Structure 1
Amino acid sequence: MKLARFTHSAKEQLGIVEGQRIIPIPETVFSGSMADLLCDLQTVKPILEQLVQTAAASINLDQATLLAPIPQPEKFIGVGLNYADHVAETGLETPEFPTLFNKQSSCVTDPDAPIYRPNISDKLDYEGELALVIGQYCRNVSVADAPQAIAGYTIVNDVSVRDWQIKSPTWTLGKSFDSHGPMGPWIVTSDSLDPHNLELRTWVNDKLRQHSNTRHLIFNCYQLVATLSSVCTLKPGDVIATGTCSGVGVKMQPRGYMKPGDRVTIEIEGIGRLSNPVLQEPESNSFISKTPLS
């Protein structure tokens, strides 16, 4: 099942994607957030399945605006050096323990929304990644039990500003610029696919830059959940981006950084496509305000 956040007729809603249509979930069926829905999914899913079978009302996908399925995850965690081919292209040693970092939740942006190249750097890079979404509160779970904590999977572009990434050993600054966490286009529930055998491709414009399969993950989804939950409680709606494969722009000769006018598209088998244009950050993007600027 594909679960989406979207707007239609100026109203934000949750829905179920079936082919080229979205079936809105009525508030009489469920009225909470996507994180709430994921937490209650086992109870609500039979009702949603019945809704798919009986729904009279649906919306064409091209008439809706898809939103990031989890707009403000409490935890947005990235994994570095998690494909052998990416480790090889960096010239580093294969890690014996996951390389983990935070992406600030303010970086999350929607499918087809702009990725802004910041005015303070032109070293803007893409990283196509499978991301898992937590559906249950969990702490100290084993690898064997970890699948029960995962509600589903989505696509993340772990956009990176390379010079700012290396300014800090934690990588967080270079991973957290506004608009540098595209996510979507929806969440595919965990019972619908095997996360460890999915083809992954990334294009910049019409050029294929990345191509691998999630079976090449060094630390798989369940191992990552077990590791992280040994430290902190994972909560419904937390997002873990599992790392990128080889083909990143920083390792190309000449460098293959994204520039204004480009479009980056990530496709993961069984999930779909996440595509975003690249624009230059507006010069006026500076403010102190009681409310965020739109």
Structure 2
Amino acid sequence: MTTSALYDRSAQDAAASVIANYSTSFSLATRLLGTRVRGHVRNVYALVRLADEIVDGEAERAGLPADAQRRLLDEFEDETFRAIDRGFSTNLIVHAFALAARECGIGEDLIRPFFASMRTDLTETSHDAASHDTYVYGSAEVVGLMCLQVFVNAGRPAPVSPDAELVEGARRLGAAFQDVNFLRDLADDRGRLGRDYLGIGDGATRAEVLARIDHDLDVAALAIPRLPSDCRRAVTTAHGLFAELARRLHDDDGAQRVSVPTPVKATIAVKAMAGFPPRRTDA
């Protein structure tokens, strides 16, 4: 193995470690991806996770004020673009993301909105309908679009653009994931972070948010069967996990954070492996 290949593999191993430690559900879904795409999807999510830690997690717990967090985020974004340009970063997670971006055509049009939404977390504590949609596009929909770029382009000699139905499905799935997380983390976001992403009690209602989630999941379900075969089972599993969370949120009284028990997760994954289509609420 060449030194370059060893460094690339080490970077991708670091990205896989981040995901394995931070999200059991996502780690389960990515294990169902084909080897063609699995590493690059982990690379994307590791970068997203680290950016989120700057604005929501470890940087704050380390006592860094908002202006210091912003500088760190700006530096992280700048290093991401430098790594894509030159094909190397001393930050292993950034290096791994650059591998995915360069091969799969993940460009500035997707990366800039993501960092813009992360930056919003340092200055905005509440959202109306318009700012919610802008935030969710940058924080979640573009992440779905980055993964779609990987699904369509990993292993190709040159990247191509996904078709409109796949793009819409990726956006809707990302938005549903984000709104589910907002709803299940509502108490913590308000209490610990002082943030209100959904505007519940100030215009929006819980029922309206859940109806939007169900609609987004249904639109995504229509597109998933059109994904490359080595991606469908994993995306169907992820869709199923969040559809189950949404179902439980419909019955939730808000007393505790809802979750999907491990046996239920396993059943969802087994059904996806067996070729069952994504569950739809409008079927």
TM-score normalised by the shorter chain: which range applies?
under 0.3
Higher relative contact order (CA 8 A, sep 6+): 1
Higher-helix-fraction structure: 2
The structure carrying a bigger strand percent of its residues is 1
TM-score by length of structure 2 reads 0.25
Q: TM-score scaled to structure 1, two decimals?
A: 0.25
